[in-house]
Amino acid sequence: MKRTNSDIHGERILTLLSRQKSGELSTEQLFLQLEAGYGFLLNSVDHEVPSSEQVNRRPRENWKIRVGATKKYLRSRGWISDSPNSLWRISEAGRRRAKELAEVAVMSTSTRDRIIYGDIVGYEAPQEFENRRAAFLAGVHRQTQAGISGGAEGVDAICLSDGYSDDAFDGDLITYTGFGGQDPTTRLHIADQQLIRGNLGLVRNYELERPVRVLVKKSVLTKNRRDSSYLYVGLYVVVHWDWALRDGFKILVYQLKSLTGQTEAGLVSSIAVLTGGAEEPERRDSLSSRIVRDYSVAEAVKRLYADTCQVCRTQLRTAAGTYSEAAHIRPLGAPHRGPDVPSNLLCLCPNCHKQFDGHALTIDDDGSVFAFQTRIGALHVHPRHPIDKEHLAYHRASSVPQS
């Protein structure tokens, strides 16, 4: 639990000042109005009195100390005018900012309970937005700061910025890191990520094959930190999710595939058109590898088992014949880099495939199959199908419950 920061206090203060005819409030009046309007949102850390304040005649709580620091923050952005310490006076720029915040609040209220999975009418990819607020007001991404828009029931949009080193394009695939566990100052992981809220929602999207709108900070594509606008790059589907380790802590990693075959190279080429340039922007030379699946390998493994699941021994029959799915033990693409070879494939029915990818099923080196660490049987293995135990160990390690 953390103290309410200057960004949040600043928005609340501008809102209160804009409601005053004079555009002014004394510090004492401001404290009273903040407590009356937003006191129920303050947490226990906000209400703590630090030891450095306890020696004062009128010790201040943490939230009041932060409000004092917020004055410098607002003045540096030109949102309040210079005034004595005991007075807060909104500027014209501050009134414009307060109006923008009111528009965002209206948009948030109108769309909070209305999740749209898919394109937003009037906004076709690729489309550039000046900032996150513009994308928010368009309904493309319903958050102005969080990277994931949605909750545990599903996610309608994600945003890639340069805050996570693992977020990257790989051909028509995107590797995306879940939220949580980072120190906001150092960007190092200090705790395990949790399979909750938007992190869980992306898993629900995977299970239900719901599309996700993807917003990307321009600098991710151009490698130029000064490019601060955002691009809506289209609809993607979650094709895999997994656990990985960063800084000694567990993080959630998702792979999303473009529904239209959009690639990083194609997006970079489109930037010049969007910005009115005649040529592509300058880019550093780099090597890029795109995953090319050899579907003949998967078909060969499935034929070897006559479309019979190696775990539950089910053979599904449809009007078109028998059906099974080839499951990669160690996933393809970053950060896993699993090979597209028979020793990294299993022949599974759709149910077991979902359970295996969802880390409900694991397989020991001796072929024992476990459902949530309870042995349920043995893996059927054809004599001509050697399975790499290192890949099984990799899958088990990523399926261990969080600490």
Residue type at position 370: F
Shared domain for 263 and 367, answered yes or no, is no
d(CA 127, CA 159): 14
CATH code, domain with 139: 2.30.280.10
- Asked if residue 123 lies in contact with residue 138, where contact means CB atoms within 8 angstroms, the answer is yes
Cβ neighbours, 10 Å, residue 153 = 11
Please, what is the end-to-end C-alpha distance for the chain in angstroms? 20
Select the more confidently predicted residue: 262 or 177. 177
Shared domain for 393 and 374, answered yes or no, is yes
Residue among 301, 139, 126 at smallest CA distance from 230: 126
Select the more confidently predicted residue: 105 or 287. 105
pLDDT reading at 220 higher than 90: no
- Residue 393: band (very low, low, confident or very high) from pLDDT cuts 50, 70, 90: very high
Average pLDDT over residues 260-281: 64
Shared domain for 127 and 261, answered yes or no, is yes
Share of residues in the chain with pLDDT > 70 (%)? 88
- Asked if residue 67 lies in contact with residue 31, where contact means CB atoms within 8 angstroms, the answer is yes
pLDDT digits (tens, 9 = 90+) for 289-299: 334 455 578 88
Shared domain for 80 and 127, answered yes or no, is no
Per-residue pLDDT at 394? 92
Query: In this structure, what token pair is assigned to residue 145?
Result: 């700061």
Most confidently predicted of 148-162, 212-226, 290-304, 368-382: 368-382
Q: Nearest 5 degrees, angle CA 184-CA 187-CA 188? A: 120
Shared domain for 131 and 258, answered yes or no, is yes
Per-residue pLDDT at 106? 57
- The answer to the question of residue 286 being in a domain is no
pLDDT digits (tens, 9 = 90+) for 152-207: 888 999 999 876 666 778 888 888 999 888 877 777 888 888 989 899 999 888 87
- Residue 146: band (very low, low, confident or very high) from pLDDT cuts 50, 70, 90: confident
Shared domain for 123 and 260, answered yes or no, is yes
Shared domain for 174 and 234, answered yes or no, is yes
pLDDT digits (tens, 9 = 90+) for 61-82: 888 888 888 998 899 999 999 8
- The answer to the question of residue 202 being in a domain is yes
Query: In this structure, what token pair is assigned to residue 351?
Result: 């149910």
Q: Which of 89, 108, 127 is the last residue of a domain?
A: 108
- The answer to the question of residue 384 being in a domain is yes
Q: Nearest 5 degrees, angle CA 167-CA 190-CA 359? A: 60
Per-residue pLDDT at 290? 38
Select the more confidently predicted residue: 328 or 1. 328
Cβ neighbours, 10 Å, residue 148 = 21
Shared domain for 241 and 132, answered yes or no, is yes
Boundaries of domain holding 16: 6-108
> In angstroms, what CA-CA distances link 114 with 155, 177, 203, 205?
12, 25, 20, 16
Q: What is the mean pLDDT of the chain?
A: 83
Residue type at position 73: Y
- Residue 280: band (very low, low, confident or very high) from pLDDT cuts 50, 70, 90: very low
List the single range of 12-16, 53-57, 82-86, 113-117 with lowest mean pLDDT: 113-117
Per-residue pLDDT at 283? 40
Per-residue pLDDT at 389? 94
Per-residue pLDDT at 38? 82
- The answer to the question of residue 378 being in a domain is yes
pLDDT digits (tens, 9 = 90+) for 359-369: 899 999 999 99
Q: Which of 108, 139, 159 is the last residue of a domain?
A: 108
- The answer to the question of residue 290 being in a domain is no
Q: Which residues pair with 90 in a beta bridge?
A: 80
- The answer to the question of residue 279 being in a domain is no
CATH code, domain with 28: 1.10.10.2260
Our count of domains for the chain comes to 3
d(CA 52, CA 32): 23
